[in-house]
Amino acid sequence: MAEKIENGSERESGEEQGSSGRRSSRSSSGSGDKLFQYHGWVYHLGTNSIGHEFCHLRFLLLKGKYAFMYKRDPFENTGHKPIRKGVIGPSLMVEELGRKGAMYVLKFYNRLDETKKGEIALTTAGDARAWMEAFEQAKQQADFDLTRGSSRQRLSIESELNLEGHRPRVRRYAHGLTKLIKIGKGPEVLLRQSSNLESNTQSTQYSEGDVDDAIEAHEWKCIHTTNGIRIFEEISSSKSGRNILLKAVGVVDASLDTVFEVVYNLDKHTRYEWDTVSDHLELVDSIDGHFDVVYGTYTQKYQAGVDCCGWAKMHDFVFSRQWFRGQDGAYTILQRPAVHKKCPRKSGYQRTKVNPSIWEIKMLKPSAEPNHTRCLVTQMIEVHPSGRRSGNRHYISKLERTIEFALLCQVAGLREYFNTKPASTFVSDSKILQKEVPKELDFSGELSTTDASEQFYDAIAANESLEEEDSDDEEVELNKEGKLKLKNVSWAIAAFSMKKKAAPMDSNELDLLAAPVNIAANQFRGSMQPGKDQSDSDCWMETNGNGFMIRGKTYLSDFSKISGGDPLLKLFAVDWLKDENRIDEIALHPNCVVQSEAVRRLPFVLVLNLQVPAKPNYSLVLYYGSERPIRQGSLLSKFVDGTDAFRNSRFKLIPSIVEGYWMVKRAVGTKACLLGRAVTCKYLRRQNFLEIDVDIGSSSVARGIISLVLGYVTSLVIDLAVLIEAKEENELPEHILGTVRLNKIKVESAVSF
């Protein structure tokens, strides 16, 4: 069953390559398993044994479930041995820490011991995304091998990762990322070239297009077109007394990673080519890799149509930026007015409060032209009414004379910017160079006993001190090549783990032949009260799944989605708890509702513990019960009794903000999220229940979003749906496991645990 990637000319011709990473994949005919390879240049970050920070350029290779780290490109330097190597296990977690200086940092840690960690840095957000996907593939390959392999091949949890190991001698070190951007030679220059942003880095995640998984509450009307963009106004806001929402939408001929880099870049020479508003932007403070504060200036005379009363008004402003990337690859940038002690008012400038706004950058399906990538760019902005209403016949002419209109026209500027740069849109070279794979990488699927003790974090550990640091480390040549989309192999794990190949299951997840058990709401009691009607607040309600879109029976052929319908499980209680420490394994607590006699009589209970990071820590615990036993062989049965890796690859949550501030709605979105890939999930299986502890604080992106939500939570109505993702034809259509509506929760109403 073990496989290896073939050497030289036997490689697949459609391989993807790039300056920072490239990937090739293999699948054996007639079998469900796949082995992939991904490799490229990265920066290894950390602190060495004498306490100095280092930032070393390293060649990282992933092959199946194995990782190898080199000082030189092993494809160019045959016989060159890795300085570190090891195995990637299912407990590995990869978190995107965001930007540090000009780099994007990925953190690796063991979800069973988060003190064991290491970091690498990439030069673009697109490269960071590609490496995260590559490590996810390696984790799935590891789980697949563990599932199919003999006991000799299985890795124990204790030996899976060795994160603290470091090499004994120190010759020299580099100080951090600030020094890195000043090196100005060798691979660093190539890694930072703008052409690296243009790779056609599509993923199978984009195949669903722009279809949301929950019905959006906003309704938009196109009110104007200009320079290839459409300008919309939200209908409900235009009819009410609150601020108006406007958005500009345009198609840009470039990859979404490229567009994001250009939008987020503060360099004035680049922004002068498309930004119709800003004169000067500078970074004031970086809170973390996803959140910073920016100071800027603009002169009204440069805005077309803006009346500057015959003289140039100088304005300055301060705003915060928060960015994150969804699992579908789409970028969101939140921009809000801010105040900062480093930015006092300046003489000669009029301090302006910026309008809250959002950039959204989403991938579009490829056009008929080869290697042509497009994305949909949306800029949404909140505008004070000031007497402007779409019913006014002079509305458009007045709108065109505002600074808000100039901001919306930035989308048109981006379109024209990329239209003048054809190299930013098309990739001409899509073939990998034919190279001989080094002999030490030509293995049949397992390391020797000696090698097996050198786990992944020997190659990526936080401590590093190299024995032989050559002076030409920064002179290694870098191959610029195109990229291939990463194919998900999680379906293979599921296929092999259920090798019995029973007849295709029907649409029923529960055993309909068994007598149902009545689940009456008055039998159970949680700390949060159920609501009587929609006007109640600080309560929960169970809703049907009609507001959510899930995969239909023919999804694999036409990507069609259907309304969710009634959930399989019934929500019977909700707890809203707080404690100084994170609350784990709540179902085992003697006072938990799961320990009551009424719950013990239920055939199955799903406990979803959403752990909210704050001071103190909060837990929103949802209890779902089944009226009938789970049908053997169903997808739900595979999930409940499967491995953690299988659960992580399948457990989905769909959010929807039904009522609340528009920026929170856009930040949360309506796309399904595979929780096991986004945050750390821990599972507790007992006789009649499965508890899932979702550590939202394990992701910096999730922490940023949840902090935004908590700031407005008392005015929010939130709908959630949980389900298991179907990836095989006999698993379709999907079924919603459970839903909940949270009505304007009060943080202070949480009960001490």
pLDDT of residue 453: 42
Global pTM exceeds 0.85? no
pLDDT band, residue 421 (cuts 50/70/90): confident
DSSP class of residue 337? E
Same topology, domains 8-199+430-488 and 206-424? Answer is no
pLDDT of residue 361: 96
* Rounded distance between C-alpha atoms, residue 112 and residue 695, angstroms: 12
- Rounded to the nearest 5 degrees, what angle is found at the Cα of 245, between the Cα atoms of 242 and 249? 175
In the predicted structure, residue 750 carries a pLDDT above the cut 90: yes
In the predicted structure, residue 164 carries a pLDDT above the cut 50: no
Segments of 205-269 assigned E as strands: 220-226, 229-234, 244-252
* Rounded distance between C-alpha atoms, residue 563 and residue 550, angstroms: 6
Q: Which residue has the tokens 């016989």?
A: 79
Q: Who contacts 417 (Cβ-Cβ below 8 Å, separation ≥6)?
A: 262, 273, 274
Q: Which residue has the higher pLDDT, 246 or 155?
A: 246
pLDDT band, residue 15 (cuts 50/70/90): very low
Tell me which range, 366-375, 665-674, 688-697, is most confidently predicted by mean pLDDT: 688-697
Q: Strand 22-27 relative to strand 34-47: parallel, antiparallel, unpaired? A: antiparallel
Q: Who contacts 646 (Cβ-Cβ below 8 Å, separation ≥6)?
A: 143, 490, 493, 494, 497, 638, 639
- Whether 577 contacts 621, CB under 8 Å: yes
pLDDT of residue 317: 95
Half-sphere exposure of 24 (CA within 13 A, CB side): 25
* Rounded distance between C-alpha atoms, residue 300 and residue 8, angstroms: 60
In the predicted structure, residue 470 carries a pLDDT above the cut 70: no
**Residue 234, strand partner residues:** 220
- Rounded to the nearest 5 degrees, what angle is found at the Cα of 252, between the Cα atoms of 251 and 254? 140
| Mean pLDDT within 233-249 | 79
| Mean pLDDT within 104-108 | 91
> What CATH number does the domain located at 8-199+430-488 have?
2.30.29.30
Kindly report the number of other CB atoms within 10 A of residue 464's CB atom. 26
- Rounded to the nearest 5 degrees, what angle is found at the Cα of 489, between the Cα atoms of 548 and 57? 110
| Mean pLDDT within 501-526 | 73
pLDDT of residue 731: 92
pLDDT of residue 87: 83
Can you read off the two tokens belonging to residue 650? Answer: 């399948």
Tens digit of each residue's pLDDT (9 = 90 or more) over 326-341: 888 899 999 999 999 9
In the predicted structure, residue 469 carries a pLDDT above the cut 70: no
pLDDT of residue 370: 67
Tens digit of each residue's pLDDT (9 = 90 or more) over 533-589: 888 999 999 999 999 999 999 999 888 999 999 999 999 999 999 999 999 999 999
Give the type of residue at 729: E
- Whether 552 contacts 560, CB under 8 Å: yes
Tens digit of each residue's pLDDT (9 = 90 or more) over 739-749: 999 999 999 99
Which phi and psi (to 5°) does residue 654 adopt? -110, 120
Handedness of CA 594, 599, 600, 604 (dihedral sign): negative
Give the type of residue at 609: N
pLDDT of residue 64: 83
pLDDT of residue 194: 34
* Rounded distance between C-alpha atoms, residue 235 and residue 239, angstroms: 6
Q: What does pLDDT average to over the chain?
A: 76
Distance of CA 259 to the CA centre of its chain: 17
Domain 206-424 listed as CATH 3.20.20.10 = no
- Whether 54 contacts 44, CB under 8 Å: yes
pLDDT of residue 461: 59
Q: How far is CA 25 from CA 409, 599, 617, in A?
A: 42, 48, 43
In the predicted structure, residue 85 carries a pLDDT above the cut 60: yes
* Domain layout of the chain by residue ranges: 8-199+430-488, 206-424, 524-752
Tens digit of each residue's pLDDT (9 = 90 or more) over 273-304: 999 899 999 999 999 899 999 999 988 765 55
Which phi and psi (to 5°) does residue 416 adopt? -70, -35
* Rounded distance between C-alpha atoms, residue 629 and residue 641, angstroms: 13
pLDDT of residue 457: 53
pLDDT of residue 80: 85
SS3 174: coil
Q: Which residue has the higher pLDDT, 101 or 750?
A: 750
Can you read off the two tokens belonging to residue 44? Answer: 């290894």
